[in-house]
Amino acid sequence: MSEELKKTGTTIMGMICKDGVVIASERRATMGTLIAHKATKKLYKIDEHLALATAGLVGDLQVLSRYLSAEVNLYRLKRGNRIPVNSAATLMSNILNQRKFYPYYVQLILGGWDTSGGHVYSLDAAGGAIPDKYTAGGSGSPYVFGVLEDLYRDDLTVDEGVEIAIRAVTAAMGRDSASGNGIDIAIIDEHNFKILTDEEVKSRKEKIVK
């Protein structure tokens, strides 16, 4: 499994801020040393309060995002409420664990906002689900963790979190050859789910003092 993950590469990350959750990824898909695609979708809107950032084999990631989205929508239709983030993480964990002997080649970050606030979970291919204030995944994650360990605070605003996400993913793209070709960022708070446009990311990046 580790060899397959190395072939795909990726940088994903998520963090909890005091007024929302920030989830980010880059866009490059690789096959060994070949850049196979420059606009790969690795950040998925699962529901109005949930985002999934994905690293691993593209086919597995697409199947799992569709599976989770369908289950979350069924939950809302049956109960009339949005699924809590920890329940969505447990659901995905169970899906992954059922295939642990023939696993999906993935690493996932699930983040969102519910009645108890912001949540970020790191999920592995065997179904482990670990909550944290911030986390990263994929081949670029060591560089992201370096930035997060230095700059993360419990009282971060979403605006500050977006700046840190841009710094972190940019650092990963500068050093990890499997990461690159742009940044996708989702912001989730009590009222909204927003994915920043390329223009918004570019504008914010230009304002960062290097």
Residue range 151-194, pLDDT digits in tens = 999 999 999 999 999 999 999 999 988 888 899 999 999 999 99
Rounded CA separation 52/28 (Å):
17
How many distinct structural domains can be found in the chain? 1
**Nearest-10 crossing angle of helices 198-207, 158-175:** 90
**Residue 51's domain is classified under what CATH number?**
3.60.20.10
Residue range 97-139, pLDDT digits in tens = 998 888 999 999 999 999 999 999 999 999 999 999 999 999 9
Q: What is the pTM of this model?
A: 0.92
Q: Which domain holds residue 28?
A: 2-207
Q: For this structure, is 54 an active site residue? A: no
- Which of 10, 11, 135, 170 does the annotation list as catalytic? 10
Across the chain, mean pLDDT equals: 92
Residue 183 β-bridge partners? 26
Q: Name the helix (H) or strand (E) containing 158.
A: helix 158-175
